[in-house]
Homo-oligomer: A and B are copies of this chain.
Amino acid sequence: MKFAIQINEGPYTHEASDSAYMFTKAVIEGGHEVTRVFFYHDGVNNGTRLTTPPQDDRHVVNRWAELAKENDLDLVLCVAAAQRRGIADADESKRNGKDADNIQEGFRISGLGQLIEAGIQADRLVVFGD
């Protein structure tokens, strides 16, 4: 069965990103397919490579990136949400005249159409947020 996952909150403040991660892992372990993980609203803050959590804490961003690499997941950050919140890849950074970018490898930035497409293509859309 095809699952799409939507995440509305960034790392560490809400449990949403943790729950979504564990759910996504369980979907894969259950033999299902994850068609897309869509990071929306504050959820785009999961996609920055500049985080440095305490040594004894989980690394939410890296954990997503690793899960994506191992399972060829499509991690999409909503472009409009990312622009408002300062998450940029090299292209976005250049286009907006910024001197740096901060996206974590394994994530990509794209439009809201990707969420709608995910809703059409997947059998289940499961949302995690506040």
Show the binding face of A for B, using Cβ within 8 Å.
10-13, 41-42, 45, 48-54, 57, 61, 80, 83-88, 92-93, 96, 98, 100-102, 130
Contact status B50-A93, CB under 8 Å: yes
B86 touches A49 (CB 8 A): yes
A49 vs B130: C-alpha distance when bound (angstroms)? 26
A96 CB contacts on chain B under 8 angstroms? 52
Given known pairs A100-B102, A101-B100, A102-B100, the reply for A88 and B50 (CB within 8 Å) is: yes
Chain B nearest CB, measured from A86 CB (Å): 4
Check B86 against A51 for contact (C-beta < 8 Å).
yes
Given A100-B100, A100-B102, A101-B100, are A51 and B13 also a contact pair (CB < 8 Å)? no
